Structure 1
Amino acid sequence: MDFKKIFNNNVALTEDSNQTEMVVMGRGLSFQKKVGDQVELEKIEKTFITPSKGFADKLSDLLDEIPYEMMELSKEIIEMVNEDLHTELNDSLYLTLSDHLHFAVTRTKNGIPIRNALMWEVQKFYKAEYQASLKALNMIKTKTGVSMPEDEAASIALHLFNARQDGSGMEETMAMTNIVNDVTSIVKYHYGFDFNEDSMNYSRFITHLRYFAYRMLRGELNDDNNDGLFQQVQLQYPQAYECTKKVQAYLKKQYKMEMTTDESAYFIIHIQRVSNREKK
């Protein structure tokens, strides 16, 4: 493995014998090295394949601003999250989280308050990611001496959720969060009760909503024209059907999206299940 481009003393772009480009990280990894030199493999702390052409140039610009200590901190946080949540976060998070933390820590040091408008929604819908992010705040304080507000945990949690999906983009993650929040509000006010947010039924309903919103925003909703199922549940669960029509109207108005017959049927079933058990 040879150096192809050196970003700084700790991060470089390399190429192996198969001409596969990889970004490698490690303290002092590329100190006094030049393009064409061999990489000392024992110094590598993290490696990931470049996701696209032009990535190296973007990384170079990013690393001009971010201290390596912040990248080390991101690495430690990601390792903690992977272990706690039994997941494998997308490699792109190493860069996006480092950039975010550097900006957030700098703002906090300068006395600029950090607020997250989705704080309440994140606490409700991304509980695992939020709890891991609270631990991350303690790691940040230990590493930098900076105490961050809980709003910052919500921001980190959105990054974590985004990286668990497939690194799809923060705008999409925030749109998903808004859809889940709005639909649960529609169901809650239609039936006139609050959800038991610790119940398995609520958890299953939220999981369905997340996946639906994810596919909807990507244009991946399928319709097998299962009219038989739709007709059956429409007649069997009339109140859940009326509630589903309100959800349909919301999606059409806000996102210009027509819910398919299949999706309508599954919504009726999920709404009926969660509403029936919540009432009991």
Structure 2
Amino acid sequence: MRIEKVLNNNVVLASNAENKEIVVMGRGLAFQKKAGDEIDQAKIEKTFIMETQELMEKLSELLKGIPPLHLEIADEIVQYAQEELHTKLSDNIYLTLTDHIHFAVIRYEQEMGLKNVLLWEIKKFYPDEFAIGDYALKIIKEKLNLTLNEDEAGFIAMHIVNARQDGQEMQDTVAMTEIVNNAVNIVSYHYGIRLDESSLNYTRFITHLKYFAQRMVKKEIIPSGDDFLYEQVQIKYPKAFECANKINYYLQETYHTTLTKDEQVYLTIHIYRVTEGTETKKEKS
């Protein structure tokens, strides 16, 4: 295996047996070496093969200005994520996550913390990816001896989410996240309370919203209408029904989508359950 380009003392661009460009890493691998020299196989610690030539070029360019250890950390996180999620992540994550880790370290050293405004949503809607982000902080602590906060765990989680999806899917995910988040906010404002996120009814409510949002974004909602149940919940749960109407108005104004009568029935029941007893508690307080 011959060196095509020396990126730094520890990283080179080379070609494998299939004549594909690869990034090869190892301590002192390229010390006093130049293009055309043979690579000492005993010094190879890690190799990276990207899906496309474009990604390979971007990775080699990125590695010119950052410590190779940051790529190694990103790779360890990616390998862990793929095992936990049982899925292959896009190779693009090696660029985005390595770059993010590098600047997270710089921000830490300069005491320039970056607030993750979507942390709550990430924790609630992407718990598996957030758990991976949390584990990533342990890897960074072990490798770099610095402690990043959970805002960074949230950022890393979103890199994982992005790597699982193509561009359109990511747009859909953002839309679904906004729908769920805004629906929860509408309920909270309507009742003047903070919902109990630890309750089983809250979990059921969020799950219902997520599946509804997914069907709505993918245009899989089937028009329906059970007039009897619709009239019954309107009479039995008037405040929850009024709240469901507010969510319906939000969807009409923002996404030009109207809840079916069946959806309004289910949503009203979930709203009632997740807020049940709150009026009594407010009266006592």
Give me the TM-score of the superposition, normalised by structure 1: 0.70
User: Whose radius of gyration is greater, 1 or 2?
Assistant: 2
Shift of 1:141: 2.1
Conserved? CA contact 2:70–2:102, under 8 Å: yes
Aligned pair in 2 of structure 1 residues 208, 93: CA closer, same or farther (>3 Å)? farther
Confirm or deny: 8 A CA contact 1:191 1:275 kept in the other structure: no
CA distance in 2, matches of 1:207, 1:125: 9
Aligned with 1:258 (options 252, 256, 259): 256
Partners of 1:162 and 1:97 lie apart in 2 by: 11
Query: Relative to 1, partners in 2 of residues 1:265 and 1:10: Cα closer, same or farther, differing over 3 Å?
Result: farther
The answer to whether 1:234 aligns with 2:234 is no
Structure 1 residue aligned with 2:220: 222
5+ long unaligned stretches in structure 1: none
2:283 is matched with none
| 3-state secondary structure, aligned to 2:184 | helix
8 Å contact from structure 2 (residues 180, 213) kept in 1: yes
Cα distance in 1 for residues equivalent to 2:22 and 2:225: 53
- The 5 Å alignment of 1:184-199 reads 184-191=184-191, 194-199=194-199
Shift of residue 102 of structure 1? 0.5
Residue matched to 1:50: 51
In 2, the alpha carbon distance for the partners of 1:178 and 1:207 equals: 14
Residue of structure 2 in register with 1:272 after alignment: 269
Note the alpha carbon deviations across 1:235-280, whole angstroms, 9 max, x for none: 3432455333312322344x4x112555x73364245235326527
State the shift of 1:77 in Å.
2.0
* TM-score (norm: length of structure 2): 0.69
Identity across the alignment (%): 36
Q: Unpaired segments of 5 or more residues in structure 2? A: 278-285
Is 1:203–2:203 an aligned residue pair?
Answer: yes
Deviations 1:157-183 (A, max 9, x none): 222333344576877765554432221
Aligned length: 269
Contact 1:71-1:98 at 8 Å conserved across structures: yes
RMSD after superposition: 4.3
